[in-house]
Amino acid sequence: MKIPSFLRLCCLLAPAAGLLSVAARAAVAEAEAARLGQDLTPLGAEAKASADGTIPAWTGGITTPPAGYKPGDHHPDPFAADQPLFTVTAANAASHDGKITAGHLAVLKAYPSYKLVVYPTRRSASNPQRIYDATRRNATTAQLVSNGNGISGAVAGIPFPIPQSGLEVVWNFLARYRGVAAARHIDQAAVERGGYYQLVKFEDEFLFNYARPDITAKELDESNTMIYFKQAATAPAKVAGTILLAHETINQVKKPRDAWVYNAGRRRVVRAPNVAYDNPGTHADGQRTSDQFDMFNSCLLYTSDAA
């Protein structure tokens, strides 16, 4: 597969930061892996419904486009006929204690018109069969390496569908299937308490090298590159033309993330090793950090027993 030239650069994901000692973990036994597609979904979740019935059983998810959908359209609601079960407001929030977050409670208190409309739970997620097949293989071959800062023996699918540690769960998130290549146009608004904001517009492009149909474990190990990413700011005028490029590595000890920034005003490309952790997010007015991108965006490191 030929990698598009505009994506020969990088990404924004990586394993967690912490102070743990992590030895290489063996993959699960074949008997345990055989549960995938049986009492576990092909990606390792519990397939059955919850005891109270509020979470239904997984039966394969949506595998065909909804009626009337044409490529290029906004995705139609596949559950348009669903009706709300209830609505959470500032007036009744106490009766839902334990089911809503402290953040939601604060917003409900600060903005009385805010509400949470709760609909029936659906388990509509599905992946291509090749991802399920790869996940099944990974279950008996994938391992954490470099003290938890990398993985080996996995390609395309979830590395640890039956995780034995929190680190393996983190890697499952980082390696989740999101297609092979993607582009998106997004707006970012850092909203002040008084309601003022200025839209910052971005054009993002991704190549998920880990999920390529023709990728091999050998090639992945040699390239050590999980994702290629490019982000270009297009508005407002003061930031338009700024470009962030990154290579997200699959073993952060073997080689940490590579990142570069093109400054349109200076017309220079500089390395950007600070794209990680609590570094302020791109043009976010200090109200978002890099670690909040895609829910998790740290890089290294875990200490070893000898440290």
Q: How many CA atoms lie within 13 A of 102 on its CB side?
A: 0
Contact 211, 195 (CB under 8 A): no
pLDDT at residue 220, rounded to an integer: 92
pTM of this prediction? Answer: 0.83
Burial of 118 (0-12, 13-18, 19+ CB in 10 A): middle
Neighbours of 227 (CB within 10 A): 25
pLDDT digits (tens, 9 = 90+) for 286-299: 888 877 777 777 65
pLDDT at residue 299, rounded to an integer: 52
Q: What does the mean pLDDT of the chain come to?
A: 86
Compute the average pLDDT of residues 244-255: 92
Answer yes or no: is pLDDT of 16 > 60.
Answer: no
Nearest to 178 by CA among 205, 146, 143: 205
User: Cα(38)–Cα(100) distance, rounded to whole angstroms?
Assistant: 32
CA torsion through residues 285, 290, 293, 295, sign: negative
Percent of the chain whose predicted confidence (pLDDT) is above 90? 67
- The residue with greater pLDDT, 182 or 301, is 182
Contact 248, 257 (CB under 8 A): yes
Answer yes or no: is pLDDT of 21 > 60.
Answer: no
Which pair of structure tokens corresponds to residue 242?
């700024």
Answer yes or no: is pLDDT of 49 > 50.
Answer: yes
